[in-house]
Structure 1
Amino acid sequence: MLAGMRLLATDLDGTLVFHHAVGQADAEALVRWRAVGNLLVLATGRSLRLVQHAVEVARSSTSIGLDYDYAVCATGTTVIDAVGQVHRTRTLEADQVRAVVRAIGDVAQAPVSVFASTLERDYVLDDPIGLSTDQRTPPDRFTAAPLAQVAGLGVTSMPLHIPDVRAAAALARGLEETVDGISCTRSTGFVDVTAAGESKGAGLGRLAELLAERGVEVSEVAAVGDSWNDISMFERADVPCAMAGAPGEVVEAAGGRTTPSVAAFIDALLG
């Protein structure tokens, strides 16, 4: 058994990716982390395809790129390795996807842009806010399609873009009360709808099982993130850390530990 490996799980948006770019100092710190035999896991609400986009962003914005060992994608529903092989995924039922779209019209207190992610593609079902047409959004990021076409394609998560914090919290509560068998996880500007029980923390748990099956023993888990959807992975971490400026509940879940950057957190971990 391979013993003594440490694992760092890092969020992407608002933690490692800012304004569609990865900082050089953070990229260099990730290289140092892996160079001494530690594991790097990307833990994100992004779909598999949008994780790949983050890697492309890192390659274009740094001289290093973004090499990782595993990724926990789509709010914990999907675990992939460094070459993109899917080791575990869980999808919503087609009826659940349809029910979520219907329920949004009943419970939403503000405009909501509705997206649906599968392993192959990211779809936009309704976008009154205009996220999919924002000039900062890559033109091939989302495919417009009707609900009837998308519902049965194996939707791993439904990111709902709703910038207002209070409206997002109300939407998450309302959907969970209205639609059976789903979980709604908040992040900055989004509510991610998944099959019940899914979260970044649950995804890390399944990754731990996969590593154990491969004979990899992890001696310590560290995690860093900036939003509510990171709380579940903080609960699984030995060393949780929130980004400076994260909401109070997130900082509290990290035991009050904060960092100004991923690079600073890695420097502290490596001593």
Structure 2
Amino acid sequence: MKIAAFDMDGTIYFDGKIPEEIAQSIARWRAEGNIAIAATGKSIHSARTSLDPFGVTMDYGVLYNGTVVTDSAFEVLYEEHLPQDAVAAIARHLEGIDGLNLYCTMLEGADGLVCRGVSGPTNHIISNPRPMGWQQLMHEQVVLLTAWAPDRRDLQREVDEWVTAHFDLETSHNVGFYDIMPPGHNKGWGISWLLKHLGIERDAVELYTFGDSFNDLPMHALADVSFSFPWAPAPVREQVTHVVLGVAQALEEL
């Protein structure tokens, strides 16, 4: 059995669309009896609105960086949430910091914008978030928090130091983003959970992973063969099997 797990932003999804050649290559991969997984930090809402308009269907979703696993219809197979006290404390701590936006994602609905310290448009990955104060988070089951600090790795590091000093949570750096998940959860964990759920032994699967950023490294480490791209950060390119020009060509060769 062959399984391919795809990051979305910067891997199959660019500037608000999935190129036709990538959509067709994923469709052919599935038509040949192989499994396709969306392995992304995106929420259910964001993944659905990114895939559906381009006719792309995935067999499973490992979403929110491995904190939620869904089937092809985005029905939840597994979910975990951040502790509400941690969510509220982190939101209060980051409120009013210049150069940083804090977003939250739930199982349902659009992503929320909790703190806004970046002037101008939000960003090209989290589009049209709904405003939410940290007080509202006390009544929500938050799956993932994301701090966006464009061109401020120093600020990301400061946030990481504070979060990890106060809470036992999983964290991940992305390009411009800093994600906060329930402890022990990442894309590699989510794929491993899915295999166990399906009753598939790891050695019975050829696992291929495609991803361009740091939050993809846990699933790359799990893969038989991993792929990244010339635009990925150097530390990511150094930890994959192949650096390729795009998903479509590599998938066809598999």
Query: Could you tell me the percent identity over the aligned residues?
Result: 26
The CA deviation at 1:116 is 0.7
> Which amino acid in the other structure matches residue 33 of structure 1?
W
Q: Distance in 1 between matches of 2:234 and 2:202?
A: 35
SS at 1:185 equivalent: strand
- Measured against aligned partners, the alpha-carbon deviations of 1:22-60 in whole angstroms (never above 9, x if no partner) come to 101111110111111000000001011111111134x2x
The CA deviation at 1:191 is 0.6
Q: Distance in 1 between matches of 2:226 and 2:155?
A: 25
CA distance 1:135–1:21, shift in 2 (3 Å):
closer
What is aligned with 1:120?
A: 108
What is aligned with 1:98?
A: 88
What is aligned with 1:19?
A: 15
The CA deviation at 1:168 is 5.3
SS at 2:153 equivalent: helix
The CA deviation at 1:102 is 3.3
Residues 56-75 of structure 1 mapped to structure 2, 5 A cutoff? 56-57=52-53, 59=54, 65-75=55-65
> Which amino acid in the other structure matches residue 223 of structure 1?
T
Q: Is residue 2:39 matched to residue 1:43? A: yes
Q: Is residue 2:252 matched to residue 1:267? A: yes
Gapped regions of structure 2 (runs ≥ 5): none
Tell which deviates more after alignment, 14-23 or 174-183. Answer: 174-183
Q: Distance in 2 between matches of 1:193 and 1:136?
A: 17
Count of residue pairs the alignment pairs up: 253
CA distance 1:136–1:36, shift in 2 (3 Å):
closer
- Measured against aligned partners, the alpha-carbon deviations of 1:206-225 in whole angstroms (never above 9, x if no partner) come to 11111117x99852100000
Gapped regions of structure 1 (runs ≥ 5): 60-64
SS at 1:17 equivalent: coil
Residues 187-226 of structure 1 mapped to structure 2, 5 A cutoff? 187-212=174-199, 218-226=204-212
SS at 2:56 equivalent: coil
Any runs of at least 4 consecutive aligned residues in structure 1 with deviations exceeding 4 A, and if so which?
A: 130-138, 215-218
Residues 73-222 of structure 1 mapped to structure 2, 5 A cutoff? 73-104=63-94, 111-121=99-109, 122-130=111-119, 138=127, 141-164=128-151, 166-167=153-154, 169-171=156-158, 173-212=160-199, 218-222=204-208
2:234 to 242, 248, 254: 248
Q: Distance in 2 between matches of 1:151 and 1:201?
A: 29
SS at 2:140 equivalent: coil
Q: Distance in 2 between matches of 1:253 and 1:112?
A: 29
> Which amino acid in the other structure matches residue 197 of structure 1?
G
Over aligned residue pairs, what C-alpha RMSD do you find?
Answer: 2.4
> Which amino acid in the other structure matches residue 211 of structure 2?
G
TM-score by length of 1: 0.86
